[in-house]
């Protein structure tokens, strides 16, 4: 579905256009076209492929599901894949934004993505002194906005992890804590897989040889790269915290099991003592001491009860019971 198609010249909007008029505007010097699609059909993308001379392999990646983020350079254009995070309740959803960047055009295709990115176009149009860089600045504005979407998600994940750490020592639901920790680990891995490849991809866009499509705008992409590295650093810290929390939770489970085992061992010792006494006095020998003594039975009960109470007090003082 076509979201918008706008023609710019020297940083200023010239006209809203339709796909069929793109070749006419591209023939005029200084113009560049910014086309935005959402959940594009194959027919729409094939039309634009022909008009912008897009590489076949890049076009196929748009329809091949969620792809690994990357920055690829073709003969006539750049192809960038970014992922945009969004929360659905407690579930993390990743959408895909595909960006084709030529010398006089930008084509962004959002697939299964909730982010509208309309604010990016409004921001760019408010900054004509930067928009005059053409497609290079549009790529920067889009990538900067998408990377910035990760900050609140990472902060939210960090806050949830801190809350779990706070209650973990007071909450006896060890299995639930472990499930939440592995959920956090899964989310951090998803975010890391969306960001880590971009560090290498955007390092190609500043310093040394840079693609012709973004010549002159290298400093802007260095800024995006710095944001990516900061996010990766935060995710590494979160991953380390999760690993530590998992080990602590396992230790707490082992400690709880140890406490249970001590209680079982204490009560088991008392029951063993009772069993020993009753086993001895329960033997059917005719000439056992105190067998015919009228106080034999009360004495046996007193010995069993006193010995059991003594063991109980010792275990209670030692913290086993």
- Which tens digits make up the pLDDT trace of 55-71? 999 888 888 877 889 99
Q: What is d(CA 26, CA 135) in angstroms, rounded to the nearest whole number?
A: 13
DSSP 104: S
pLDDT, tens digit, for every residue of 252-261? 777 777 777 7
**Residue 298 burial (10 A CB sphere; 0-12, 13-18, 19+):** exposed
| Chain segment 75-96, per-residue pLDDT in tens | 888 999 999 998 877 788 898 9
Of 108 and 1, the structure prediction assigns the larger pLDDT to: 108
pLDDT for 170 beyond 90: no
Report the topology of domain 253-318. Answer: Methane Monooxygenase Hydroxylase; Chain G, domain 1 (1.20.58)
The domain spans of the chain are: 2-252, 253-318
Angle among Cα 21, 24, 30 to the nearest 5 degrees reads: 120
Does residue 51 surpass a pLDDT of 70? Answer: yes
Which of the four CATH numbers 3.30.460.20, 2.40.40.20, 3.10.28.10, 2.60.120.260 does domain 2-252 have? 3.30.460.20
Q: How far is CA 152 from CA 12, 123, 192, 213, 231, in A?
A: 32, 20, 14, 31, 11
| Residue 100 binned pLDDT confidence (cut-offs 50, 70, 90) | very high
Instruction: Specify the pLDDT at position 287.
Output: 66
Whether 86 and 93 have beta carbons less than 8 Å apart is answered as: yes
Cβ 314 vs Cβ 308: under 8 Å? no
- Mean pLDDT, residues 300-320: 81
Q: Residue for token digits 């006896």?
A: 172
Task: Kindly report each contact of residues 305-309 with a partner whose C-beta sits within 8 Å and lies 24 or more positions away, as own/partner.
Answer: 307/273, 307/277, 308/270, 308/273, 308/274
Q: Are 128 and 142 in contact (CB under 8 A)?
A: no
The confidence score (pLDDT) of residue 298 equals 79
CA distance 108 to 96: 10
pLDDT at 112 over 90: no
Across the chain, what does the average pLDDT equal?
A: 84
- Judged against a pLDDT cut of 80, whether residue 159 lies above it is answered with yes
DSSP states of 267-299 as a string? HHHHHHHHHHHHHHHTS--TT-TTSS-TTHHHH
Per-residue pLDDT, 126: 87
**Predicted confidence band at 274 (pLDDT cuts at 50, 70, 90)?**
confident
Helices (H), the chain: 22-26, 42-52, 56-62, 118-125, 128-131, 135-148, 150-168, 174-203, 218-281, 296-318
Q: What is the pLDDT of residue 171?
A: 65
Tell me: pLDDT of 99 over 90: yes
| Bigger pLDDT: 276 vs 73 | 73
Q: Does 204 have pLDDT greater than 90? A: no
Assess whether pLDDT exceeds 70 at residue 194.
Answer: yes
Confidence of residue 128 (pLDDT cuts 50, 70, 90): confident
Residue range 199-213: mean pLDDT, rounded: 81
Dump pLDDT digits (tens) for 213-260. 777 778 888 999 999 999 999 999 999 988 888 888 887 777 777 777
Question: What is residue 121's predicted lDDT score, i.e. its pLDDT?
Answer: 87
């Amino acid at each position: 579905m076509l979201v918008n198609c706008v023609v710019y010249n020297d940083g200023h909007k010239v006209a809203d256009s339709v796909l069929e008029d793109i070749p006419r505007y591209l023939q005029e010097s200084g113009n560049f076209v910014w086309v935005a699609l959402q959940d594009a059909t194959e027919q729409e993308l094939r039309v634009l492929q022909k008009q912008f001379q897009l590489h076949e392999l890049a076009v196929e990646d748009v329809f091949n599901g969620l792809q690994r983020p990357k920055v690829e350079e073709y003969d006539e254009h750049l192809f960038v894949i970014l992922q945009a995070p969004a929360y659905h309740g407690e579930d993390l959803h990743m959408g895909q934004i595909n960006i084709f960047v030529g010398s006089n055009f930008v084509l962004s295709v959002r697939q299964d993505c909730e982010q509208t990115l309309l604010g990016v176009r409004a921001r760019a149009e408010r900054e004509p002194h930067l928009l005059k860089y053409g497609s290079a600045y549009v790529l920067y504005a889009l990538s900067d906005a998408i990377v910035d979407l990760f900050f609140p998600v990472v902060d939210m994940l960090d806050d949830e992890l801190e809350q779990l750490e706070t209650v973990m020592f007071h909450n006896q639901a060890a299995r639930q804590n472990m499930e939440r920790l592995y959920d956090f680990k899964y989310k951090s891995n998803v975010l890391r897989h969306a960001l880590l490849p971009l560090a290498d991809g955007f390092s190609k866009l500043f310093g040394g040889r840079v693609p012709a499509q973004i010549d002159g705008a290298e400093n802007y992409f260095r800024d995006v790269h710095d944001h990516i590295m900061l996010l990766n650093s935060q995710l590494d810290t979160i991953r380390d915290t999760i690993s530590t929390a998992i080990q602590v939770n396992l230790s707490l489970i082992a400690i709880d099991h140890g406490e249970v085992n001590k209680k079982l061992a204490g009560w088991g010792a008392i029951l063993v003592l009772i069993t020993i006494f009753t086993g001895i006095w329960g033997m059917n020998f005719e000439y056992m001491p105190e067998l015919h003594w009228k106080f034999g039975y009360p004495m046996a009960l007193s010995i069993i009860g006193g010995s059991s109470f003594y063991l109980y007090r010792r275990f209670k003082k030692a913290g086993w019971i």
